[in-house]
Each structure stands twice: as C-alpha cells, then as structure tokens.
C-alpha cells in the first residue's frame, strides 16, 4: 500500500498506534516495511539551488529585510552628499574628505545590523528543517550568501553612486569602481558578522547590542579617531586594528581618493600639497601598499566570516545538546542530594518514641 493513498491516510488518522509511531518519526503500515522519516534524497546542488531561490523570494517579499534598508541608505547618502557637496581640493577639503570616508565606511556600514531580526528568523527556520534532515549546513550557508548578494549589490551601487558623484571624489571610472566595491565588501562583512552572531544568540536585543559593540570597537581602531601610529601596540594595534575591516576599508579609500590629487596650501604663496604627502604625514598610511591589497583583505574577511558562520552552526549542533544534557544531569544530581539531606535532617517519629521511652513513668500506659 502507498502511504500517499487516501485509504492508507484514513487508516493512519484513525489508528492511535499509528499516530504514536508518527510522533516517533516512523510510519508503520499494515502491509509493508518500516520507513524512516528523516533525510533528504536531493543532491547537494539541488539543495543549494532550491534554498537560494526560496531565500531570494523571501528576501524580496519582506520589506524590512533589504528594501527598507535600501531606502534608509539612499536617504543617508543623499544627506552625506549634500553636506560634502563638491568638496573640491582646497586646504579645508583634506580633512573633509577623510571625515566623509570615515562616516561612509563607519556609520553607513553600521546600519547593516538592522537586518539582524530577519537573520534570527532565518536561523529558526533552518534549525527546524535541519532537525528533519532536509538539507545540510553548507547548503544553507551558500544559499544565504548567494541570495543576499543581489540586494547588497543594489544597495551599495545606488547609495555609493549617489554619494560619489555628489561629493565629487577622485575623478575616474576605476576610482569609482573601487569605491563601490569597497563599500560592497564592507557591508557584506557586516552581514556575515551578524549572521555568525545570530547562529549562537537568537535574542534580537542581545544580538544587536553585541554586534553594535563589536563594530564600535572596530571603528575606534580604524585609524581615523586615533591615527595608526598612535594606537597602543600591545593589543589595540596588534591585532585589533588588523582584525577591523574599517581599518582596511579606510586605508584603501584614502589611497583611492587622495593619490594623484593636489591640494591648496593654507597660504596661496606656499606650494601646493600632493595627496601622497597627505597620506604619509597626515593619515599615516603606507603608500607603497596597493589599495587593491586592502580590497582583497576585505573580500578575504567575507570568506573568513562565512566560514566562522558555518563553524558556529556545526559547533552549536554538537556542543549545545551536550551542554544542555550536562546541565540537566547536574540539576538532577543536585535535587537528589537535597532530597537525601532532607531525609537525614528530618527527625523520625519512631526514633523519637524509642529515645523518650526510658524517661516515661512506670505506670504510663
């Protein structure tokens, strides 16, 4: 008999024993063999492709996932462009360009934590389907990365284009491409970091607080609020500044924007200031290192954070049940110990009567 036939379904619904077997994850038929309910017969490529399509559809339908962030990004970048409109190459524009880049790669990328609630919902769906054995962890990580890529490209392309041409940063197509790619890599790093946090912290508020705290620390050692050579070496410069993606994003963007430009001096009689001199003496940046190396480090961080996301899910699957079992065993042992102590401390009525018998008078009944 087929388990999908109407007759078998009716027998299954009206038989309590079959319902009990269904709760255990096993279907038993009167005529046939026992079938396990777990596992997926689809190939890895089919799993990843199906998950990517489903995740892309869910992201496109959920306004709060990426569309709301797109609107906020455009509004914020228009504000940035209007404040730093046509920044130019005057002497005051040197620090203005540095402040503009710091705000873009600091606060604008910081807004990516707004998608954390949606990340948590995705993790809840994944955990339920993972228990049923529908697909593996690697397929989920790959599908999540691929489905989010078009939205991140759209967000960074539109907001980055508006900001770049309103501020009128370094002219040239390759400079524009580098700026957009650097912004995309920074936003994707933040997305990957928040996904890694969502895999172990399912609480919305706690996850946002932790993610904001981590990014706040990264911004402090980015090289803008405190120049690279002035950052304390034992911990904050090595390794924290090199772990911070803001550090590499700002280093690359400063080179991308200032190299090749010439700025006015404070006095018109003084010679003009080349951008290379500003990089070395004002922002303390090594101009011998290529800006494309900084960009490659950012893309490497994307891979590292995604691998960390994968590792955290695998560790949580193996470690979390063991930790919960250990805590449960400790609680049971503690309750047993308390019960044994209570039995020892509780006075026995029989012992009280036996001990008090010699003190009673002889004529006591």
In a domain? residue 1: no
Residue 234 lies in a domain: yes
Tell me: the pLDDT tens digits for 33-47?
444 445 567 788 898
Pair 143, 52: CB distance under 8 Å: yes
- Whole-structure pTM over 0.85, yes or no? no
CA–CA dist 285, 250 (Å, integer) = 10
121 and 30 in a common domain: no
Regarding whether 61 and 21 lie in a shared domain, the answer is: no
Count: domains in the chain? 3
- For 29, the domain range is 6-36
In this model, does residue 347 exceed pLDDT 60?
A: no
Check whether the bond before 196 is cis (ω within 30° of 0). no
Percent of all residues in the chain with a pLDDT value above 90, rounded to a whole number: 55
Q: What is the pLDDT of residue 23?
A: 43
Structure token digits, residue 71: 């609107």
Q: For a pLDDT cut of 70, what percent of the chain falls above it? A: 83
Whether 56 and 100 share a structural domain: yes
**Is residue 341 domain-shared with residue 253, that is, in the same domain?**
no
Q: Which range among 6-15, 319-328, 344-353 has the greatest average pLDDT?
A: 319-328
- 295-337 confidence digits (pLDDT tens): 999 999 999 999 999 999 888 877 777 888 888 888 998 888 8
In whole angstroms, what is the distance from residue 65 CA to residue 152 CA?
A: 11
Please tell me whether residues 258 and 330 are part of one structural domain.
no
pLDDT at 193: 92
Q: Are residues 208 and 330 in the same domain?
A: no
Q: What is the mean pLDDT of residues 7-21?
A: 45
**104 pLDDT more than 90:** yes
My answer on whether 21 and 137 are in the same domain is: no
Residue 180 confidence (pLDDT) above 80: yes
Is the domain of 211 the same as that of 328? no
Q: Is residue 296 part of a domain?
A: yes
Mean residue pLDDT of the chain comes to 83
């Amino acid at each position: 008999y087929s388990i999908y036939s109407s007759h078998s379904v009716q027998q299954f619904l009206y038989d309590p024993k079959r319902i009990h077997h269904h709760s255990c994850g096993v279907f038993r038929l009167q005529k046939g063999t026992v079938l396990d309910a777990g596992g997926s017969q689809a190939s890895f490529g089919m799993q990843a492709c199906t998950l990517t399509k489903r995740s892309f559809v869910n992201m496109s339908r959920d306004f709060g996932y990426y569309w709301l962030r797109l609107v906020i990004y455009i509004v914020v970048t228009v504000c940035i462009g209007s404040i730093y409109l046509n920044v130019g190459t005057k002497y005051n524009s040197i620090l203005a360009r540095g402040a503009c880049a710091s705000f873009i790669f600091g606060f604008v990328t910081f807004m990516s934590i707004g998608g954390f609630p949606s990340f948590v919902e995705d993790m809840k769906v994944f955990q339920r389907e993972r228990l049923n054995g529908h697909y593996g962890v690697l397929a989920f990580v790959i599908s999540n990365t691929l489905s989010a890529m078009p939205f991140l490209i759209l967000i960074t392309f539109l907001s980055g284009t508006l900001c770049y041409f309103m501020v009128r940063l370094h002219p040239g197509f390759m400079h524009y491409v580098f700026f957009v790619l650097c912004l995309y890599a920074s936003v994707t790093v933040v997305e990957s970091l928040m996904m890694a946090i969502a895999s172990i912290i399912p609480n919305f508020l706690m996850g946002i607080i932790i993610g904001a705290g981590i990014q706040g620390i990264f911004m402090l050692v980015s090289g803008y609020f405190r120049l690279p050579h002035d950052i304390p070496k034992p911990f904050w410069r090595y390794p924290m500044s090199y772990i911070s993606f803001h550090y590499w994003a700002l280093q690359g963007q400063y080179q991308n924007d200032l190299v090749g430009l010439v700025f006015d001096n404070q006095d018109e009689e003084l010679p003009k200031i080349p951008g290379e001199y500003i990089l070395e003496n004002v922002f303390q940046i090594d101009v011998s290192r290529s800006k494309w190396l900084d960009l490659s480090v950012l893309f490497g961080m994307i891979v590292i954070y995604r691998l960390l996301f994968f590792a955290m899910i695998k560790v949580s699957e193996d470690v979390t049940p063991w930790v919960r079992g250990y805590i449960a065993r400790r609680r049971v042992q503690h309750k047993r110990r308390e019960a044994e102590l209570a039995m020892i401390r509780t006075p026995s009525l029989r012992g009280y009567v036996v001990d008090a018998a010699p003190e009673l008078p002889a004529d006591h009944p």
